[in-house]
């Protein structure tokens, strides 16, 4: 079999949801659009005061930040993995956590200009921790589902990646 004839060869021997090599439009639609939509939801939500229905428990808002940005970290990692199939897990994780944390920082700066909202450095820390946990969870899901990531490849006895 010639290398490059099927998607498994193109994508580091990783299974894919696409039977043929995906078009740029499909990659954008399947991997990047969910990330962009979720970022837009965060920005939209930041325009409004915190709802009164959210419990006023100690650190509850930090848990909400960590959960929300955990999902954002997963979406960043998933999108980056689609665009950089040869990147190591560590590199993908770093970029995903950094991207989510910087987005959290920009959201806090944005909130400082919104009436009834305040900027909080502790929220940025909760965002970064949540993103790191989300990225770790993403790689755990990949491992459990049998979808290997590029960082888990090993060199076999013949010197090829297996």
One digit per residue, pLDDT tens: the chain, 162 residues? 444 455 444 455 555 555 556 788 888 899 999 999 999 999 999 888 777 767 777 788 899 999 999 999 999 999 999 988 889 999 999 999 999 999 999 999 999 998 888 889 999 999 999 999 999 999 999 999 887 544 444 333 444 333
Please report the pLDDT score of residue 151 as a whole number: 47
For residue 28, count other CB atoms closer than 10 A to its CB.
Answer: 15
Contact 70, 133 (CB under 8 A): yes
Place of tokens 């005061």: 49
Please report the pLDDT score of residue 85 as a whole number: 84
- Phi, psi (rounded to 5 degrees) for 14: -90, 140
The angle that helices 60-83 and 33-46 make with each other, rounded to 10 degrees, is 150
Q: Which two tokens stand for residue 6?
A: 């099927």
Place of tokens 């979406």: 75
CA distance 44 to 75: 18
Please report the pLDDT score of residue 153 as a whole number: 43
Please report the pLDDT score of residue 133 as a whole number: 98
CA distance 107 to 118: 11
């Amino acid at each position: 079999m010639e290398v490059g004839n099927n998607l498994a060869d193109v994508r580091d021997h990783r299974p894919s949801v696409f039977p043929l090599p995906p078009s740029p439009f499909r990659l954008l639609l399947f991997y990047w659009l969910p990330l962009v939509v979720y970022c837009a939801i965060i920005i939209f939500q930041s325009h409004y005061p915190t709802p009164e229905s959210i419990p006023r428990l100690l650190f509850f808002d930090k848990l909400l930040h960590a959960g929300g940005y955990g999902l954002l970290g997963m979406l960043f990692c998933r999108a980056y993995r689609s665009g950089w199939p040869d990147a190591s897990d560590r590199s993908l994780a770093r970029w995903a956590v950094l991207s989510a944390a910087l987005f959290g920082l920009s959201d806090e700066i944005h909130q400082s200009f919104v009436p009834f909202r305040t900027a909080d450095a502790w929220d940025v820390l909760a965002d970064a921790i949540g993103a790191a946990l989300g990225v770790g969870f993403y790689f755990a899901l990949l491992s459990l589902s049998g979808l290997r990531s590029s960082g888990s490849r090993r060199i076999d006895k013949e010197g090829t990646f297996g």
